[in-house]
Chains A and B, each alone.
Chain A
């Protein structure tokens, strides 16, 4: 375990960059991969990840377990995730507060959940099972959402706090998701972050989003296809200054840029973290 090391800034590992990363060994703290991209038997994905893992700490981010499915998590998926975790020994394992599998059909997105006591029991049970099978604590990420349900019983921050307490899981705070959901549902992202249970946060995600305008109404969409918005940087700066520095990841999953552009975002996160860490040190 390397959880006690000074939190650093990392990047999502993309096939487009892996040869360069192995050749140039850029100065970034760690890499994160989507677990589902490493569930094949062999070939280039494992070849390159083995080599990157030998040089950098790794985080495994699951996108397909479907922890919020009323009909049960994706069949057989937990054992596939366990195989990836056992093979690569990541310092963080995370998944999403979302669902994607229904009656054996996989809907390739992170679909939203109504925040009710019934959903909370279901999700806590699934997180429990996942942590039992994996033999370790996992982090659960706050989602970006585009709609709300009738009959919801609690705000997302209360849901996540209760989930962490009940299951013992940690949380992955995605600040871009907060900005996206806040814009889509008309709440203040600062108020959300004020009530977020930061004591459970083990990792922070930063990414870019799109704004889709139509007839004067805007929807923010969590696209991971561009640079991080100024508002996200600003909230990140505030959160870590007040709540402490955490391992922080730059996610860039579509329209992936040349490595230097992604590295520049990692370095920007790093300098913000160093500044916040410095303030911490002076305060202490």
Chain B
């Protein structure tokens, strides 16, 4: 026995490790302990770093860049012995069979109600029972193909079900990610362990989704409907979609026409055959379910009824998650399956029955009360003050049929590795398991399969996964070593070579476009700030005021109400410059980083892993911007510039140069053209008094200082600057080059409608390019001496700015077929 286990002190209750020593905890503990405290600490940091870099968060991405925290993974998995697991597996399969039979009955003949096995309140006082879903809108095969079950071990050593997840059984993606990260950080331990692998289960998930397709049997298009990239769980949705080779879509990507489900793409509508969803029942279809849903698809239920699409799990399944149904599962199992329920749930009774009421009132203080019509549980009476507890008791006595009472489970413990990486501590835990339906080659239901593993988290039984601080992998040990399975799925069907063509969802093209725009805007802004910090540091050393810094600050701070009213900005140059790192108008750095990342998250599955890595570093670094001093700020801007270069460089290197990449590139170069035109105006037209230093800033911020010096030594000739930054099509920082590149990219975009006329964006570029080609350089070079020449330059810059500024709108109209948000004919919300 190793030292950790020897020193492990279990409380009075049962402990998973001491109760099931055959689960091979020992070799694992020995291996972990053998790493030594410091090495294990390093490995744990590495785990957290990987999670962070892979963008594993469970929480919505908000304006606050620090939220969306990765969770802590305990390096010690929860170990399940083969025999122990087999029992559990049997129970879980039975539970899935029960849920399937119950669903068919409740949304069908309702025999369980008519035979008084289940009180009618279980449906009619259950807000998750949707009348439009009865009779079952789709077929029974697709109704329930994935089932998540939360379990814990009680103090008597029996497994107990705490909750069923049927609407959006989340967590498989996290389980997989945990496993992959563990395998990378603790390769020796992982490789030697005879544990069951998850990949085969997930591979079969794709097969069973394919089996649900009705119209397209060979190569069905399967999509995963997520609530949106700003919502909870986005990491998992993107990750699973990627792993299972599903199209990740949001409600606004989809439309129902001709009783079929379609995805809006660059090339028009593409059919979707199977939809697996991660939005709750209520939100699936604003026509028949919640009318105020903006994340669902109007007409979806009708399309399912008509057989135009298979949706799984079917809307309506959430009714089975209700506590009143949970309270009756043992008897329902007897009646529907003719078997007794293998895994007990929580002890639970309906106060609407006389026996249940007596039970609940007798032991009032120890129980937990839930209202039938509410999602939220009442706090435990013991957590209430006296008056509140009395009020709850009165409410139960007055209308007992509105309540279900349950006895909280006293959970057994499992060992968790302490923060010191040198000891074990017992704590109660929850575990989520998954079961899926499998189909034979005739697409008929065959049997249920349980994922050999899962997700465990620390917390009293019933603690929500999202609320837990610490999660861990679940290892099901096998008798023999298990083969590694590649994460690339082996298909039964011949591979169809696909290229990202015009089946790119419009929304994705849109997000890539904005990713490019925000990224480039961030780049331009960061470069100017960097110049500001250079100048600030030089000025401090040489003790004179650098006029160009004042001009630069004005440019960066923008025209706000105070400056327009002639109020001088407060604070020293240094304070003003540092303030720009954390605040400012539209273009504050953290805002730009946030917008860029938010667009990036929306297209996570279109970016390469390396690009994503850079992205996560940037996100991490952006959180510290507000706390920097001048030297730190200068370094941070330098880092940011190189991160952005790395990000876009990697995108150029790794993204297929198809439509998605083109839209990103167009976004970048529109933004870069606008920035450059603005800078030229700033340095050569608006602020000619301190022109030379401003020209230096401009050259440096466009990274052209070296090129200029090589060509022209150090003298600043306007003609030379204009040539370098406007006309030289060979210089990637010149407006001429940018327009040429935009024209080439736009030429390759799909043109809807196939008209013989030039599209508006093409015309705009022709205007910009001919303006440039026809410019009278001889006049412009006298910009130093001559007001007329300066006016001519201003006019030229305006003539270039107008078409380029109009370009984004033209592209949006022509390519991103935005669905307007659905509206109701009559708002159907009840008061």
Are the chains A and B members of one assembly? no
Residue numbers of B with Cβ under 8 A of A are: none
